[in-house]
Amino acid sequence: MNLAAITLLALACVLSQTSAFAPQPLSTAQRSQRVSVAVTSNSHDGAEDAPNRRQFLKNAFLASAIATATSTTLLSDAPVASASGGATAGGAYLLSAKQRYNERVTKSIQALIVAQTALEGGDSGPAKAYFSGDETGTWKDITTAGYLLSNAFRRNSTTAPDSLPAVKKWKAFVVEVDAYQKLLKKKGGAVASDAFPKVEAALQTWLEEVDLPPPREL
């Protein structure tokens, strides 16, 4: 039995007990006697009616108390909406992560596209600088910013990072970039360029997961 039902039952008992003390119906002889007495004293009438008035007011008060108690109890028993996800874990944390890492991620991806374009034209300089640097807009920087941004896309704070979809897709992208980078070092720009479509496909899949546009639209 919930609290509302208990409250109603308790108040009903009080009401029934109070009613037991209400004045009982009078017999014909008693009514005749009361009328006779009333003729001699109007003030006596008021005294006789007082218990009825008091009982009426008491009943009205108890009825109001029942309604108020029921309403209050039902409201207190209502389930409270809990924050989740993204949110909460997702909400403010995700917003903060986007503010901190989106710009770094965007600059690094833009630099990767520039490096690949140069590589297609026979210039490997930008690609080598991209993978060897450590400032904002390089591969080293996005390996940190990209992972932290991915980790912010979660439904709760207890899920292991490696179980998060965004982190999984981030790691799939990293695998493709590592393979691309090895080809660049060992076999040159032309061979590496042939492998870039796989890099870009994995990148786009990850960007969708972290609410960012396709790589060439950043």
Give yes or no for residue 14 having a pLDDT over 60: no
Is 189:146 a contact under the CB 8 Å cutoff? Answer: no
Q: What is the pLDDT of residues 163-176, one digit of tens each?
A: 999 999 999 999 99
Question: What was the pLDDT predicted at 49?
Answer: 53
Find where tokens 């109007």 sit: 42
Q: Which comes out higher in pLDDT, residue 181 or 75?
A: 181
Give yes or no for residue 94 having a pLDDT over 90: no
Give yes or no for residue 38 having a pLDDT over 80: no
Question: What was the pLDDT predicted at 68?
Answer: 56
DSSP three-state, residue 90: strand
Q: Which comes out higher in pLDDT, residue 64 or 161?
A: 161
Is 148:97 a contact under the CB 8 Å cutoff? Answer: yes
**Which candidate, 170, 169, 190, 195, places its Cα nearest to that of 180?**
195
CA 58/CA 65 separation, integer angstroms: 10
Q: Which comes out higher in pLDDT, residue 213 or 18?
A: 213
**Which candidate, 45, 186, 189, 199, places its Cα nearest to that of 109?**
199
Q: Is the pTM of this model over 0.75?
A: no
What stretches of 41-88 show up as alpha helix (H) in DSSP?
A: 42-77
Give percent of the chain with pLDDT exceeding 70.
59
163 DSSP assignment: G
Give yes or no for residue 46 having a pLDDT over 80: no
Widest Cα–Cα separation across the chain: 126
CA 115/CA 6 separation, integer angstroms: 73
CA 63/CA 11 separation, integer angstroms: 9
Question: What was the pLDDT predicted at 34?
Answer: 52
Output the six-digit token pair for 193: 């360029």
Phi, psi dihedral angles at 197 (to 5 degrees) = -55, -35
Q: What is the pLDDT of residues 98-145, one digit of tens each?
A: 889 999 999 999 999 999 999 999 999 999 999 999 999 999 999 999
Average pLDDT in the chain: 76
**The residue type at 147:** Y
Output the six-digit token pair for 201: 């496909």
> If pLDDT is split at 50, 70 and 90, which confidence band does 161 have?
very high
